[in-house]
Each structure stands twice: as structure tokens, then as C-alpha cells.
Chain A
Amino acid sequence: MIERRELSPVELTRACLDRIDAGNADLRAFITVMREQALADAARAEEEIGKTHYRGALHGIPVSVKDLVSIAGTPTTSGSNVPARHPRHDAPVVANLRRAGAVIVGKTNLHEFAFGTTSDETAFGAVRNPHDRSRSAGGSSAGAAVALVEGMCFGSVGTDTGGSIRIPAAACGVTGLKPTLAEISTEGVVPLSTTCDHVGPLALSVADAALMYFAMLDGDARVERLSAPADGQLWLGVPEAYFLDKLDDGTRASFTHARSRLLAAGHAISSVSVAHAQRTADVYLHICLPESSWYHAPLLKEHAERYSPGVRLRLEMGRYILAEDYVRALHGRTALQRAVDRALEGLDALVLPALAIGAPPLGATSVVIDGASQPVRAMMLRLTQLFNITGHPAIAIPCGTGADGLPRSVQLVGHRGGTERLLAVAAALERQITGGPGSVGGGAG
């Protein structure tokens, strides 16, 4: 519609800014709203399109950027009271989005320094879930997901070190893609764990996520780049042991339903095992903690009291891990990479839930599953962090709601280096599970 000049980028941007004005005080999705720059960029896009210089599907489209990513002239707070960074240059991922013609409306709220999954430890107020304001929107890229549900933008840039794109996408009912490790540049992004950090999009459909992915990758978001949804019967594997052991009732029911729909659609679904999967959290901790402590060491020296207490303590923990154990975990990482590669042999994708539980209440530290108390943090990371360790691409797609009314999500995992193929598989399965592109949360209309 924008290309045909039936829809004005300026009016679209103004509508998103109006929605931010109306909802942000309550939901706390944005830390910085870039009203004037966004309207100026939208006007420029409108002028270019009027001169038939249409750049592609994101030209004139309002998007948001997690406030962990450099935008020239805008502070990067990382959701913290620790003094912000003031970058002079856009991160490459932002420069690529601008090249695609996207209009950046603002920077979104997050769990402080991306070091958490519930986004209630942030200097800018806990991010609220639009489906139930007493609940977490997930994390760490919570504002990115909430902004989409509320029609404050049409695409969001997130980061994912243990699940920080897929977890809020699942908690809020939108789509979130973690590409293959190192595919999208992390330059200009405040690191959490330098070898596990990924940058990727959140969006309202798989097709939108694909367009955002291409724009973030190299600045070219022409629709011609989209692969057709994968055709015919797909070969899928469900990793059952470990991955389906601890799920809440709503997640188990919605995943079972999604699996039945895929079978009914004619796909071949087998049970597979991922060797060493039960070691995931141990390997992850001994990589992520020391890497995050390394980055924060000088900041902790100067500003320790400015961190949220929980984030500070997690950062301090990493300082006690011995180099020998870090190397031990890197060795475990290689074994886990091989194990996921083996599980994927002969398959198009692995299929599993993205999040083991519905969005937890804000401030909760434990949840009860099958009568046993479980730590919220461990449950939030349980199904996503393996693929940060191994680098395989993974996408979370909404698959309905539980009896509690909260969104649930299916995660598809593809072959390393096969992000585009994963997107084609996801496009096919999205239609079969949900009946068509879209999100539980709805879009901007």
C-alpha cells in the first residue's frame, strides 16, 4: 500500500507515535521515543516513494530498536542507571535498517543489560504484558514484543543471548527469530555474552520477521527475497527427553494441539533425542557468566551501586569461575553443537515449545509445575538457551493460548547457516498451525 501511495508513511508513523503516547506510561515498552526524527525520516521516505525510489517492503515502515543497540545521537541506557553510552555512529544493524528505508520510532525497554528474562529489573519500570498487566512480558527484549502487540511499530530489533528474542515473543504472542550465530552483526550492541549474543527481529508474522531479517542483515528488504513457504511434506523432529519434561499445563496442551495439527496436515513427525541436553544450563552458565563479568568489570568498579541488586549479583558470580572451567564449558559446547546437528540429520526442523510456562507474574521467583516448585529464571531459559550455545537458528511462532488466556508458542530450530530455509519452513507451518499469518496479540490494523 505504501508503494502504491495508498498509505502515507508520515500518517502511519504518526499513528504509531499516538499509540506509544496512549499506552507507554502503563506498559513501559519504550525508554526513548524519537518523535521528531521519526516524523522527519517518514517524510523523507514519503518523498522518495513519491519519486518512485521505492526501496522495498520496509520503506516508510515504523520499527523499534532495543535500547542495547547504538543509534547515533541517542543514549543507549541498556535499561540501567549505570551511565548511558552516547554513540556517535549507528550500529551496522541500524544502518542496514535505515538503508532499507525503515523509520525508527524509538528504543525499547529491556531487562537491565539484557541479563534477565522477566524485564522487571530495569531502571525504567517493569515492562507489563498486554495480555495481563500483572504479568511479565518476558525478556530481555520485552519492550520490543509489547510494542508490536500494541501497534506501536511493525517490526522490532531484539537481542538473544539465552532466549531474549524468543522468550518475550512467546510470552506476548508474536514471532521472534534468532538467526544463526554471528549472521547479523553485533557491532554497536552492548554485549552480554560475547560468544552467545545474537541480534534478530521480532514481528507480527513469519513473513514480517523474514523482511526484518533481510533488512538487518544487509539493508535489502525487497519482497522478492522472500522464499516461498516450504512445499509439501516436511520432516520434523520433536526432542522429547528433557525438552518436554517440565511444561506447565497450558504449554503442554497447546504444544500437543500444534503437533496434532502438523500431523493432520501430512507432515512426518518423529521423536528425536539431543545427547547431553540435560547439561545445557551447566555449560551455558560457565560460558555466559564469565563473559558478562568481563564486559562489566570496569563498570562494576565505578558504578556497582547503580545496578539492580539481582543483576549485579549475577554479574559478580562470573568473577569466581576459573579459566579451566570456562574452557571445560567451551568443550561441552562443541559436544552440544554436534548433538543438535545429529538430531537434525534428515530433518527440516526440530519442533518444541519456545517457553515452558505462560508469562509469570511480575516479581515471581518460582512457579509450580507438576506439584514441584521451579525457579522462574531456569524455566524461562530452559528451552531456548541450548541454541544460543550451539548457534542453530530458531524461531518462536504463536500457537494459541492456554486455559489461562496467556499466549503459547512453538519453536522451530533449523540447521546452522540455514536461517532462510528455516524461515521457509516456518512460513509453511505458521499457516497450518494458526490458519494464517498473524499473531495472538493482533497487530496495528
Chain B
Amino acid sequence: MSAADILRSPDVEAWLARSVAAAEARGLRELKPLLESLARSLQALRDADAEFGHPALPDPDDHAR
């Protein structure tokens, strides 16, 4: 997967695959478990977009009106 691929499709699974491959290419195999843990945190952060009131997402109050 190229850097362009990850930018076109930056889902967490693709991000993790790309990051692990890049780390291994740099001789940093030990990073893999840390990146896997970070991927879980990343997913949680992205899942919180609505909770944090991302401005491009519908405001729950809009439906109530």
C-alpha cells in the first residue's frame, strides 16, 4: 500500500497496516504491538466525532426542531 493509498482511504485498518509495514521497513518490529494499541485508541477517537460535536456532522438538536 502506498502513501497515496492511505491518504485516499485512511480507515484505521489501512492506517495500521501501513504503519506496521513502515515500522518494519525501518527495523522497528517492536513497534507493532504499540501501533496495534494505538489503532484501538484511534478508532475510539474517530468514533467520538459525533460525541465531540464535529461541525460537519448533523447536530442531534437539529432533529428535535
Contacts and interface: CB of A to CB of B under 8 A. Distances in A.
Interface of A: 276, 279, 281-283, 285-286, 289, 309, 313-314, 316-317, 320-322, 324-325, 328-329, 331-332, 334-335
Nearest to B30: A313
B51 A313 contact: no
Nearest to B39: A320
B41 A335 contact: no
B3 to A, nearest CB: 11
B10 A324 contact: yes
B28 A316 contact: yes
A313 B10 contact: no
For chain B, the bracket of interface size reads: 20 to 34
Contact of B45 (A282, A313, A317, A320): A282
Given A309-B30, A317-B38, 16 more contacts: A276-B52, A279-B44, A279-B45, A279-B51, A279-B52, A283-B45, A286-B41, A314-B34, A317-B34, A320-B19, A321-B42, A324-B10, A325-B46, A328-B45, A328-B49, A332-B48
B13 to A, nearest CB: 14
Nearest to A275: B51
**Max count, chain A CB within 10 A of own CB: residue among B19, B34, B42:** B42
B54 interface: yes
A276 B51 contact: yes
Given A322-B15, A335-B52, A316 B23 contact: yes
A389 B35 CA distance: 22
B28 A313 contact: yes
Interface string B22-62: 11000010110011001001101110110111100000000
Contacts of B38: 285, 289, 317, 320-321
Contact of A282 (B28, B41, B54): B41
Contacts of B35: 317, 320
A442 to B, nearest CB: 40
Contacts of A320: 15, 19, 22-23, 35, 38
